[in-house]
Amino acid sequence: MSFTVLIPARLASTRLPNKPLADIAGLPMIVRVAQRVSSGLSAATRVVVAGDSAEILQACQRHGVEAVLTRVDHPSGSDRLAEACDLLGLADDALVVNVQGDEPLIDPALVSAVAGLLHQRPEASMSTAAHPIHELADFVNPNVVKVVLDAHDLALYFSRAPIPHWRDQPKPPGGRADGFAQGESSLPSPSPLRHIGIYGYRAGFLRQFPKLAQAPIEVTEALEQLRAMWHGHRIAVHVTQQAPGAGVDTPEDLARVRRLFAA
């Protein structure tokens, strides 16, 4: 099995301007991500950054990372990756894994697992990953996306709401104001799943995806993967027991990751 990792990167960021070029232990973050998924722990055949500026391409070229220049006005990372597929001349049946450019601690083995799952599941148009939730705070946090699966590990739904809803959850005295119990009985069993934002695609579907009409549930939840499901496409989910490494969205995140690399 061969697959290409595509890493979308754009300079505009509300919370952390010029984020792809942020220094982490002497290297730009986008280079750290590319090197991470190019390591011997990943089976990726090719790793390419899809950037929106000459500065990103130059930073990649200085450190031997392959990169292509894409348009500045793409509304989403998926649109950027679709253009990258065309620029690279990828065949429609080529496997592509989308790794976010702000994940310098991404597990390379997880990247390979997501690609391998799509290779094994021809009925799925996409693949992704999830891990068990063990903390109530994560379960009720709308910034933590949850996913529920069918018997074949295909996604039934993604939501910012706490799903599956535990109708018959015990509610002893002294429970929380939001109706959840305190302590070990606060989560259903088996553990609910947190979605990890990594995706595998076939290049042909990735070219098609930006042309699909937005789904009402996608707009409501602000979750782009629901567009694929609304149009009848299946998403296979790899379940790992390990939570992913910390991503970088804010200056505080960047400081934390810099400390980890320094250590």
CATH of the domain at 213: 3.90.550.10
Q: pLDDT digits over 85-118, tens only?
A: 999 999 999 999 999 999 999 999 999 999 999 9
- Among candidate residues 113, 101, 4, 106, the one with its CA nearest the CA of residue 48: 4
pLDDT reading at 183 higher than 60: no
pLDDT reading at 249 higher than 90: no
What domain range is 186 assigned to? 3-262
pLDDT reading at 40 higher than 80: no
Taking residue 240's Cβ as centre, other Cβ atoms within 10 Å add up to: 16
User: Does pTM top 0.85 for this prediction?
Assistant: yes
Q: pLDDT digits over 6-37, tens only?
A: 999 988 777 788 999 999 999 999 999 999 99
The total domain count for the chain is 1
pLDDT reading at 174 higher than 70: no
Helix 29-37, helix 54-62: angle, nearest 10: 50
Read off the pLDDT band of 241 (50, 70, 90).
very high
